[in-house]
Chains A and B, each alone.
Chain A
Amino acid sequence: MAVVVPVPAEKRVAQARMAPPSRFGDKAFEWLTLAMALAVVGLVFLVGWQLAHGSSVAIRRFGFHFLATSTWDPVAEQFGALPFIYGTAVSSLVALAIAVPLSIATAIYLTELAPLWIRQPIVSLIEMLAAIPSVILGLWGIFVMIPWLRTFSFPLLKKFLGWTPLFSGPIYGVSMLAGGIIIAIMILPIITSVSREILRSVPDLQREAAYALGATRWEVTRIAVLSYAKQGLFGAVILGLGRALGETMAVTMVIGNTPQIRASLFAPGYTLASVIANEFTEATTDLYLQALFEIGLVLLGITILANLLAQLLLKTMGAKMTSRAVQ
């Protein structure tokens, strides 16, 4: 049985006088971590300022014409970003056209159809694909994919679809289409993983209700899951787009690096990121360098827009975004 020992008065006073936990330490730590967190805001301003500062003369010289001109002539110092905007847009769209159906179908497979034991291994494999560095995929692209495309796939495509402007013209191997394919490979993991998260967050009640009404598996997926998750899936697609827009190394190695606007997907192209990678260290005149900084600004602008849009869509869907290395 516990015996309560009365505490003598002196000791009680002494206990009451014990120093409270350090207020200073708390405040200091809070400020420290706040400063670190604000670093992201600082970084955004840093990036914006550096690019704007580095392109100020070019912006004043070319104005909005920069976005609409298609000449890229370092000799005559005429610079226009249109071929690169076109190249980035087309290669990204091609990539989405290939990756989105595959990714969403895979996400459906992983959440609705696959046996439980196979899910984690496949997810792991997809995350490994995401871990392959861009330059290595580009290496594989030059030595394996391009020869194969040039010898087998492209002639086949040309044979059957050569009547469309998209698949006309000479086949070099390096092309817009090759660029699109390699970007597709790079964005498959992120679209798949985010779509998977979205589909997982669809309440089971939806599915059960559909099943109860006699729907087949596919109908359950189509009606109860996909339409519910539409917005989130769209967000996943835009996130993939954001990633596609900024892809540099792999694309530079397979797209042909020619600033031109052609209808055919077999023609070589040039993206915003690639021209910076190729020409940045060599821009001999000030205006040339400024024009490249401006290209960087345009690239930053469209990737931020795409990411903003994606975040908004995903937030309102209420899905938890994971920011692992899969991004």
Chain B
Amino acid sequence: MQATTASHTWRKIKSAAASGLAFVSAVLVIAPLGLVFLYLLRSGANSINWSFFTELPKPVGVVGGGMVNAIVGSFELLGLASLIGVPIGVLGGVYLAEYGSTRANSMLRFVADVLNGVPSIIWGVVVYGLVVLRFKSFSAYAGGLALGFIMIPLIMRTSEEVLLLVPAGYREASLALGIARWKTIVHIVMKTASKGIITGILLALARVAGETAPLLFTAFGNRFWNHDLKEPIAALPLQIFTYAISPYDDWHRQAWAGALVLVVMIFFVNILVRFLTRERTARFR
């Protein structure tokens, strides 16, 4: 069997070209990350000063002020969201990993994955009808609920995955020793998987920390400190959005600073997670 040299060379050229294109694609895919992050650094870095982290927003036309209430507000919202997202998500994941039948579980998994694809603004609409209209008030509770709803299917799936990785031998050994099944799950299985569960929670938090759409009609925003969760609350992504679409240069500057802070916090969590779950296996495809 003999391929002519010409066609062989042509095939090699095609292959090299394809490899080149693939490499270029990879570069193009990462490029936006670099562009955005660099621009954030350039525009936001010099606006990050002590007053940014300690002062409240100033009225229109007055230069200066900060976003401290938005930063704290975001943390409060995340705390509220976790109260709903973490217990339901983790325990739901436990059910999927430990109990149930194969068919029922795969249906539940299916539903969770579909829920993960629901646009976040829809959650805002749902919670508006459910909570804001009923209690006649925008509130931190409403914002936290919307974010919590987003977290539930996310944490459920990651928890399930991590729990399934715990070797069956652990469960069997525990049961053989006469320990109750639920104690086995809680004290042995979940404990073993705790690192993975926590990283799943952290990732979900990082994901909802940047959400703006669901907060538009729930948390509403607040120019001051909020010490009452039944009242509207400021949040970092909301504040960034409000400032970004304004025509005031000073507000734009602060929007960039806020964006930089938000991105750095999210990246930090992602890097932390990556560090905690680093693969030590040699073979990597």
Contact = CB atoms under 8 A, between A and B. Distances in A.
Interface string A253-282: 100000000000000000001001100110
A246 B28 contact: no
Given A44-B114, A132-B263, A311-B110, A277 B216 contact: yes
Give the interface size bracket for A toward B: 35 or more
Nearest to B99: A30
B15 A281 contact: no
Contacts of B118: 47, 246, 300, 303-304
A105 interface: yes
A51 B17 CA distance: 51
B130 A37 contact: no
Contact of A216 (B15, B26, B28, B94): B15
A33 interface: yes
A50 interface: yes
A33 B98 contact: yes
B19 interface: yes
A139 B263 CA distance: 12
A265 to B, nearest CB: 20
Which residue of A40, A53, A54, A292 has the most chain B CB atoms within 10 A of its CB atom? A40
B12 A216 contact: yes
Interface of B: 3, 11-12, 14-15, 17-19, 21-26, 28-30, 32-33, 35-36, 39-40, 43, 87-89, 91-96, 98-100, 108, 110-126, 128-130, 149, 152-154, 156-158, 161, 178-183, 185-186, 200, 203-204, 206-207, 209-213, 216-217, 237, 240-241, 244-245, 252, 255-256, 259, 262-263, 266-267, 270, 274, 284-285
Interface of A: 21-22, 25-26, 28-30, 32-34, 36-41, 43-44, 46-47, 50-51, 53-54, 101-103, 105-106, 108-114, 116, 119-120, 122, 124-129, 131-140, 142-144, 185, 188-189, 192, 200, 214, 216-219, 221, 239, 242-243, 245-249, 253, 273, 276-277, 280-281, 292-293, 296, 299-300, 303-304, 306-308, 310-311, 321-325, 327
